[in-house]
Amino acid sequence: MSERAGYEVGYDAAGQVRVERVTEPVAAEGGQPPVAFGDSPRSISGKMMTEGAAADGMGCHAPAEKMQAAARAAGNGDVLDQFARDYPRGPHDKPESMCPAFGSLRVGLRMRRVATVLSGSACCVYGLTFVSHFYGARRSVGYVPFNSESLVTGKLFEDIREAVHDLADPDRYDAVVVTNLCVPTASGVPLRLLPKEINGVRIIGIDVPGFGVPTHAEAKDVLAGAMLHYARAEIEAGPVPAPVGGKADRPTVALLGEMFPADPMMIGAMLAPMGLAAGPVVPTREWRELYAALDSGAVAAIHPFYAASVREFQAAGRPIVGSAPVGVDGTHDWLAAIGETFNVNPAQIAAAQNAFVPAVRGALAKAPVRGRITRSGYEGSELLVARLLIESGADVAYVGTACAASPWSKADKEWLEARGVVVKFRASLADDLAAADGLDPDLVIGTTPVVQHAKERAIPSLYFTNLISARPLMGPAGAGSLGEVVNAAIAGKARMDGMKEFFEGVGAGDSAGIWQGTPNLRPDFRALNQKKLDKAARAARAEEMI
């Protein structure tokens, strides 16, 4: 058995954070490094690092077709075909935001008593662990390094298996999740051959390549779906433990999609008049919740892109309801759809609607929004937020989402299009920027590059993930939650103009910054370099044809 080094951060049985020194301390200034498994010659250093980098020639910047061809040749064709069915592609064929694997990594890191191990290039793992700790992960990420030799000889798989055996301590973990990133997926490292369970600890191996999973949102579904699949097989095999808090006394609705913590409570309150309760939110925070989710009477696909999870729920015989109780129309229609799914008496459905729809209307009236807005994002709730903004009085001209269209977003799309909104699924960054430039918005709500683009043009803008997505959206609580932040941003137009004026003349692009003289731009050098790159690309294409 190999030795692990460093600190291990996790939860104890009571859910408290526990930090343990494993063997030798490692320099961890400023954050937790990934915990590396494997013999010391395979550590991220010296010669091995160089070889690892060579094996890493296929990454985000490699042509997706090449990566796909390699993965198929390595026996991963079925996985790619399933991804293509679950996550249909759009205009862009590779991630335009962060690495997709961040989505599944985050889902694993947020679950109690679950260990996560990454298998991939050191640079990918560095970026993923950095971002996960930036977003407050409270435990270590396991890492099995590789180099060209261990990849091609199959030693990497042996190292992963050894790491999994090292980790599988039932006192600490319910499950260990191992994720193949791009290069191990393209090389066919067969995680499916890992033991399904060691000492009672479930082992879950998933492939999350950037050339197969288009967004990090959909990568959440890859892990959530794999866990539901495992839990469903356990249920079929025999009795499973009840939820920690006991079984609900009413039929429940499982909620699909990460949402603001108060939203499930609001949904529960709206379901109560129909004799129903809110079930677990999937992705779940602990293993047992998976059983309770599968035991729910129906599933609300609040975020509409969870294709693999929906497949598992449908295999368990659970009906799926799309859209969400957002705004006046959304709340009215969603309560009716849920009530009909459970065959609730129409009078009870009407009671729920009468209790909450007027409250939503009242909350919207108290926080009106005036102005033209474009909005884009990759969370899955883009269409729902647009509905809420429109019912608040905003003129929403464009909604772009990085996710694909699905049956569960159909009602939202139709509602928006009936009000003249351009809805773009699988929107590219170019689409979002064109909308921000061409539709003369008073406010742009979007991803980091879209917000940056808008700010450079003195258009008020809000970063969707931190400022909008982190607010309640459902029922009366969500109805008034956006007005304040949106109106404050729109009112900041004069400040944006002032900043633009202040920075006027400091240059842009190559010449941005403070210069003592005029920047020495050499477009001729750039043209020459471009010629060389074009020539190399032509040579590579010609080689491919031979």
Interface with ligand SF4, residue 145, by CB under 6 A = no
Q: How far is the CB of 430 from ligand SF4 (least distance, A)?
A: 20
Q: How many CA atoms lie within 13 A of 417 on its CB side?
A: 10
**Inter-residue contact 275 to 344 (CB < 8 Å):** yes
- List the 175-180 sheet strands across, edge first: 35-36, 142-143, 114-119, 175-180, 201-207, 197-198
By C-beta, is 215 or 341 nearer to ligand SF4? Answer: 215
The H or E element spanning position 395 is strand 395-401
Interface with ligand SF4, residue 290, by CB under 6 A = no
Q: How far is the CB of 140 from ligand SF4 (least distance, A)?
A: 19
Partners of residue 8 on adjacent β-strands: 20
Q: How far is the CB of 182 from ligand SF4 (least distance, A)?
A: 3
Position with the least CB separation from ligand SF4: 210
Interface with ligand SF4, residue 34, by CB under 6 A = no
Looking at 124, 203, 254, 281, which residue binds ligand SF4 (CB under 6 A)?
124
Interface with ligand SF4, residue 101, by CB under 6 A = yes
Looking at 10, 210, 371, 446, which residue binds ligand SF4 (CB under 6 A)?
210
Looking at 167, 181, 276, 335, which residue binds ligand SF4 (CB under 6 A)?
181
Q: How far is the CB of 102 from ligand SF4 (least distance, A)?
A: 8
C-alpha dist (Å) from residue 353 to 37, 60, 477 = 55, 48, 15
**Taking contact as CB under 6 A, which single stretch among the options 77-85, 120-128, 281-289, 421-429 is the one that binds ligand SF4?**
120-128
Residues 233-262 touching ligand SF4, rule: CB under 6 A, are none
**Taking contact as CB under 6 A, which single stretch among the options 116-124, 279-287, 318-326, 535-543 is the one that binds ligand SF4?**
116-124
Interface with ligand SF4, residue 120, by CB under 6 A = yes
Q: How far is the CB of 92 from ligand SF4 (least distance, A)?
A: 13
Q: How far is the CB of 408 from ligand SF4 (least distance, A)?
A: 26
Q: How far is the CB of 119 from ligand SF4 (least distance, A)?
A: 10
The three-state secondary structure class of 102 is helix
| Amino acid (one-letter) located at 48 | M
| Amino acid (one-letter) located at 76 | N
Contacts 24+ apart (CB under 8 A), 234-241: 234/291, 235/291, 235/294, 235/316, 240/288, 240/291, 241/288, 241/291
Site string for ligand SF4, 44-73 (x = CB under 6 A): ---------------xx-------------
Looking at 36, 70, 80, 99, which residue binds ligand SF4 (CB under 6 A)?
99
C-alpha dist (Å) from residue 365 to 62, 392, 393 = 51, 7, 9
Listing DSSP states for 427-440 in one string gives --HHHHHHHHHHS-
**Inter-residue contact 284 to 258 (CB < 8 Å):** no
By C-beta, is 198 or 219 nearer to ligand SF4? Answer: 219
Cα–Cα dist 225/248, whole Å:
23
C-alpha dist (Å) from residue 244 to 20, 164, 287, 503 = 26, 27, 10, 57
Cα–Cα dist 265/299, whole Å:
16
Interface with ligand SF4, residue 478, by CB under 6 A = no
Interface with ligand SF4, residue 95, by CB under 6 A = yes
Q: How far is the CB of 68 from ligand SF4 (least distance, A)?
A: 13
Residues 344-403 touching ligand SF4, rule: CB under 6 A, are none
**Inter-residue contact 202 to 175 (CB < 8 Å):** yes
**Which of 236, 256, 243, 238 minimizes the C-alpha distance to 287?**
243
Which residues contact ligand SF4 by CB under 6 A? 59-60, 95, 99, 101, 120-121, 124, 127, 181-182, 210
